[in-house]
Amino acid sequence: MTFGIHILSKNIVLLCAVTVFFSCKNTLKEVQGLDATSFAPVSIAENINTKHTDSGRLTVILISPKMVNFTNREFPYYDFPEGIDLTLFDDNANKNRVISDQALLYEQTDLIDLRGNVVLTTSTNDTLFTEQLFFDQKKEWLFTNHPVKFRTKDYITNGNGFDSNRNFTNAQVLEVNGRIFIDE
């Protein structure tokens, strides 16, 4: 009787081992395939100074110390980890300038995420200060839910959140905490 239980227990252990062995499909090969190149960027560019024209007219100047291309990811993006200095020209050659400590450009959504000490200055010298600002390129819309300071020639507004079209013709601080009027 003990001999039968001993053989039975050996068979159960052997059956479990075989089951585990054959249930592991290609897991080891998959893990070995996840090397550093799977997470590496497609490319890295340094000391960028790019000018974009449309119909012979200068529209954008982008300056950045570094751009890292992660378009090989499931959700592709470009990272400007050392910041950007972006100058945008409108149809009348008026300059709007954006600087930030970091920028992320998401390819699938056409969304630009500006982070850290974001300063946007318009051609009329209106200036927005915030820690994060998004620009939806499809809708040409700027927005944030972070604290902001918005300075115009007439007032300085502090608050939370900001919305505006790209021309700043309807710029507004969403939750105003305070406003200082400027008398000249």
- Residues 28-42: tens digit of each pLDDT: 555 555 555 567 899
- Rounded CA-CA distance 59/122 in Å is 14
Confidence band for 22, pLDDT divided at 50, 70 and 90:
low
- Dist. CA 129–CA 120, nearest whole Å: 7
The DSSP output letter for 58 is E
Bridge partners for 159 per DSSP: 148, 176
Arithmetic mean of pLDDT, 5-17: 57
Domain residues for the domain of 10 are 1-34
- Whether 113 and 96 map to the same domain: the answer is yes
Quote the pTM value: 0.76
Alpha helices (H) in 61-171, listed in sequence order = none
Mean of per-residue pLDDT scores for the chain: 84
Our count of domains for the chain comes to: 2
User: Do 61 and 100 reside in the same domain of the chain?
Assistant: yes
* Residues 111, 23 share a domain: no
Please give the Cα distance from 178 to 76 (Å, whole number).
Answer: 39
What pLDDT does residue 168 have? 79
Per the structure block, which two tokens stand in for 182?
A: 């400027």
109-118 long-range contacts, CB within 8 A, separation 24+: 110/136, 110/137, 110/138, 111/135, 111/136, 111/137, 112/137, 114/84, 116/83
**Percentage helix, strand, coil for the chain under 3-state DSSP, each rounded to 5:** 20, 55, 30
Cα gap 172→74, rounded to integer Å: 35
| SS3 call for 67 | strand
Percentage above 70 pLDDT, the chain: 79
Worst-scoring range by mean pLDDT, 36-45, 136-145, 161-170?
36-45
Q: What is the pLDDT of residue 108?
A: 92
Same domain flag for 46 and 109: yes
> Based on the domain organization, do 27 and 117 belong to the same domain?
no
pLDDT at 71 over 70: yes
Say yes or no: 25 and 99 in one domain. Answer: no
pLDDT at 21 over 60: no
Helix or strand (DSSP H, E) at 85 = strand 84-89
Q: How confident is the model at residue 25 (pLDDT cuts 50, 70, 90)?
A: low
CA distance 163 to 118: 15
What token pair was written down for 58?
């200068």
Give the domain CATH number at 87.
2.60.450.10
Least confident of 13-17, 74-78, 119-123: 13-17
